[in-house]
């Protein structure tokens, strides 16, 4: 089985620091691949993975950028979710109207996201506080109000970022495609 690394995030709960990831990522992947939680800052572990998931979080760090650069430079499949997508942006800005909101995203028909979902419209969830307002990569999905919801690096096997949380949707197409390209 192939190895997928999920970049860990830090959360403070009841004044205690926890490092890990949402269990829904593991539930989507288990029994199909080996799943590893990558400790923050551990590029040695990143380099041992066949694919990477950069999940949501609060702040983009230099480690997030280092992981993305490694994935791009080595054509390692990378799925960025929420903050993991925002790493693909050049400029980020706050947003206040997308938190805990379901909405439709519009997927461009010439994108890998379209190939995966086989539709131009997809109902998704949101729980983000920031948005990408500029990127050098291909914008593959947007919402009604112009918020960038999907970004792809076109000349790579699979480097995709989505602003929504596919781990919480009933549609597993993105995870299935991600696993099948390994």
Ordered by start, the domain boundaries in the chain are 3-180
Q: Which helix (H) or strand (E) holds 59?
A: none
Judged on CB neighbours under 10 Å (0-12, 13-18, 19+), 145 is exposed
| pLDDT score for 120 | 98
Pair type for strands 51-54 and 3-7: parallel
| pLDDT score for 100 | 60
Dihedral through CA 98, CA 103, CA 106, CA 111, nearest 10? 70
* Reported pTM: 0.94
- Give the pair of three-digit tokens for residue 25: 């990522």
State how far the alpha carbon of 28 is from the alpha carbons of 61, 147, 166, 178, in Å.
26, 26, 9, 11
d(CA 100, CA 175): 22
Each residue's pLDDT, cut to its tens digit, for the chain (182 residues) gives 999 999 998 888 889 888 888 899 999 998 999 999 999 899 999 999 999 999 988 889 999 999 999 999 999 999 999 999 999 999 999 987 655 678 999 999 999 999 999 999 999 998 878 999 999 999 999 998 889 999 999 999 999 999 999 999 989 999 999 999 99
**100 contacts 126 by C-beta, under 8 angstroms:** yes
**Three-class SS state of 45:** helix
Top CATH class of 3-180 equals: alpha beta
């Amino acid at each position: 089985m192939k190895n997928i690394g999920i970049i860990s995030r830090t959360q403070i709960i009841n004044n205690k620091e926890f490092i890990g990831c949402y269990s829904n990522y593991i539930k989507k992947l288990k029994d199909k691949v080996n799943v590893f939680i990558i400790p923050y800052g551990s590029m040695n572990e990143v380099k041992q993975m066949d694919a990477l998931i950069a999940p949501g979080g609060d702040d983009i760090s230099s480690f997030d950028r280092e992981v993305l650069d490694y994935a791009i430079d080595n054509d390692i499949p990378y799925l960025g979710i929420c903050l993991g997508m925002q790493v693909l942006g050049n400029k980020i800005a706050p947003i206040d109207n997308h938190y805990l909101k379901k909405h439709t995203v519009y997927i461009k028909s010439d994108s890998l996201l379209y190939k995966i979902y086989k539709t131009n419209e997809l109902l998704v969830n949101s729980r983000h506080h920031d948005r990408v307002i500029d990127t050098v990569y291909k914008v593959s999905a947007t919402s009604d109000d112009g918020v960038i919801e999907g970004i792809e690096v076109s000349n790579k096997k699979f480097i995709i970022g989505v602003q929504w949380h596919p781990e919480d949707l009933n549609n597993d197409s993105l995870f299935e495609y991600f696993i099948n390209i390994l």
